[in-house]
Amino acid sequence: MKELSDCTVLVVDDTEANVDILVDALGELYDVSVAMDGREAVETVAEEPPDLILLDIMMPEMDGYEVCQTLKADERYAKIPIVFLTALTEIENKTKGFQMGAVDYITKPFEITEVQARVKTHLSLVLASRELEMQNEILEIKVAERTRELAVTQEITIHGLASLAETRDNETGGHILRTQRYVQVLAQKLADHPKHGEFLDKKTVDLLYKSAPLHDIGKVGVPDAVLHKPGKLTDEEFATMKSHCELGYQALVKAEELFDSDVRPSFLTHAKDIARTHQEKWDGSGYPQGLKGDAIPLCGRIMAVADVYDALICKRVYKPPFTHEKAVAIISEGSGSHFDPDVVAAFLEIEEEIKKVAAELADH
């Protein structure tokens, strides 16, 4: 940290006698430089900004007020404290100086001990302010690093849990990564929609992106005999398969309860809704709750399109992969019955982007 003795003081006064007094009073305590008029003062500050300026008001051509105004208008020098030197005692002159940004006044004729005391006080404040700024910067860096660490840990945890579900269903491949990206681009597109824009701000879109991988977490609780059955499921088996939505939801509810209400991760709210409602249908014929229309959370409606599209274009034991065009046609036909028409409209507008994501993250 800089010491007081290392500080620089610029004295600006057009009277040599005044300059001599101030240099004698401060020269052994600080690094003192001198300017004999306003323009020279501005040039000196530009060359080497001082820690404090003692500035005479009454000077020819460019007076102290103009110098102060010029320096305060430049962000590079605006924080340099200025103490006016003046023989003027009228209140209005002092008020004008303070309004321009001066921190203090020293009246002429000078009292040496007063000059030294005021200069020391303001330089001490300068050093303390800089120390505080430095500590704040260090704190901000540490907070940012910790925030990044927590974000990375959170994403690793999410993908770890999602991958656990994926290992139970070995035909899904990159399903998690693809559907996560589909949800992201769909949500970004829907953010432009007047009905959904207020909800889908940047933070919420990011939370949906983080939450999407957990949509099938409940499959961990589905028996292998059902999950891996190559043929058509019986009614009883299908009921078991459908339970993955509620199983996933309940698992996330229990995870959320581990946190105090004021520190619960915000992505869990969306993750719960996605896990529970991504198999609901717009017309109310879906499961597990048979929700209809806007009663289905928007995140669930977005996930439904992303999930079905990816299932269509991927190979399954019970079907070959469909082409992108065939999958798009099926999604389009399901608008207003299986899917939210707004989500389908957004999907159709960005289908080339969806196709690109599918190609980039295709199973190999």
Write out 27-48 in H/E/C secondary structure.
CCCCEEEEECCHHHHHHHHHHC
> Are 117 and 226 members of one domain?
no
Query: Does some domain include residue 148?
Result: no
What sign for the dihedral angle of Cα 291, 246, 156, 160? negative
> Are 196 and 242 members of one domain?
yes
Position 14 pLDDT exceeds 60: yes
> Are 178 and 35 members of one domain?
no
Q: Which residue has the higher pLDDT, 345 or 96?
A: 345
| Residue 83, strand partner residues | 54, 104
Cβ(336)–Cβ(283) below 8 Å = yes
- What CATH number should be reported for the domain holding residue 22? 3.40.50.2300
> Are 300 and 173 members of one domain?
yes
% the chain with pLDDT above 70: 90
Q: Which residue has the higher pLDDT, 338 or 362?
A: 338
Cβ(200)–Cβ(191) below 8 Å = yes
Query: What integer pLDDT is reported at residue 152 of this predicted model?
Result: 67
Query: What pLDDT, in 10s, does the model give residues 202-215?
Result: 999 999 998 998 89
Task: Name the domain boundary from 97, 119, 137.
Answer: 137
Query: What integer pLDDT is reported at residue 336 of this predicted model?
Result: 97
| 132-136, 227-231, 275-279: the lowest-pLDDT one | 227-231
Query: What integer pLDDT is reported at residue 268 of this predicted model?
Result: 83
Q: Measured between alpha carbons, how far is residue 246 from residues 90, 263, 286, 295, 322 in Å?
A: 79, 24, 13, 17, 29
Position 173 pLDDT exceeds 60: no
> Are 97 and 232 members of one domain?
no
Position 170 pLDDT exceeds 60: no
Three-class DSSP category at 227: helix
Q: Note the residue count of the chain.
A: 364
**Pairwise CA distance, residues 35 & 41, whole Å:** 5
> Are 212 and 124 members of one domain?
no
Q: What is the mean pLDDT of residues 174-198?
A: 94
Q: What's the domain count of the chain?
A: 2
Query: Does some domain include residue 143?
Result: no
Cβ(99)–Cβ(70) below 8 Å = no
Residue type, 116: Q
- What CATH number should be reported for the domain holding residue 268? 1.10.3210.10
**Pairwise CA distance, residues 253 & 265, whole Å:** 12
Query: What integer pLDDT is reported at residue 167 of this predicted model?
Result: 63
Q: Which residue has the higher pLDDT, 160 or 261?
A: 261
Query: What integer pLDDT is reported at residue 261 of this predicted model?
Result: 72
> Are 201 and 310 members of one domain?
yes
Query: Does some domain include residue 310?
Result: yes
- Looking up tokens 């389009």, which residue turns up? 332
Position 339 pLDDT exceeds 60: yes
Query: What pLDDT, in 10s, does the model give residues 98-157?
Result: 888 999 999 888 999 999 999 999 999 999 998 998 898 888 888 888 777 766 666 666
Token duo for residue 220: 């961990």
pLDDT band at 220 (very low <50, low <70, confident <90, very high): confident
User: Which range has the top average pLDDT, 84-93, 102-111, 138-147, 341-350?
Assistant: 341-350
**Pairwise CA distance, residues 303 & 293, whole Å:** 14
Token duo for residue 331: 């999604």
pTM of the predicted protein model = 0.61
Query: Does some domain include residue 142?
Result: no
Query: What integer pLDDT is reported at residue 229 of this predicted model?
Result: 84
Mean pLDDT score across all residues of the chain: 89
Q: What is the mean pLDDT of residues 351-355?
A: 96
pLDDT band at 323 (very low <50, low <70, confident <90, very high): very high
Cβ(193)–Cβ(250) below 8 Å = no
Query: Does some domain include residue 112?
Result: yes
Query: Does some domain include residue 162?
Result: no
> Are 226 and 78 members of one domain?
no
Query: What integer pLDDT is reported at residue 287 of this predicted model?
Result: 96
Cα torsion 82, 83, 85, 88 to 10°: value is 100
Token duo for residue 167: 């290992």
Cβ(49)–Cβ(74) below 8 Å = no
Query: What integer pLDDT is reported at residue 154 of this predicted model?
Result: 65
Query: What pLDDT, in 10s, does the model give residues 22-64?
Result: 999 999 999 999 999 999 999 999 999 999 999 999 898 899 9
> Are 109 and 176 members of one domain?
no
User: Which range has the top average pLDDT, 48-52, 216-220, 226-230?
Assistant: 48-52
pLDDT band at 285 (very low <50, low <70, confident <90, very high): very high
Query: Does some domain include residue 156?
Result: no
Q: Which of these, 352, 244, 227, 343, lies nearest to 288 by C-alpha position?
A: 244
> Are 77 and 178 members of one domain?
no
Task: Name the domain boundary from 121, 137, 153.
Answer: 137
pLDDT band at 263 (very low <50, low <70, confident <90, very high): low
What is the DSSP pairing of strand 82-86 with strand 8-12? unpaired
Q: What is the residue range of 269's domain?
A: 169-360
- Structure letter (DSSP) for residue 172: -
Q: What is the mean pLDDT of residues 334-362?
A: 96
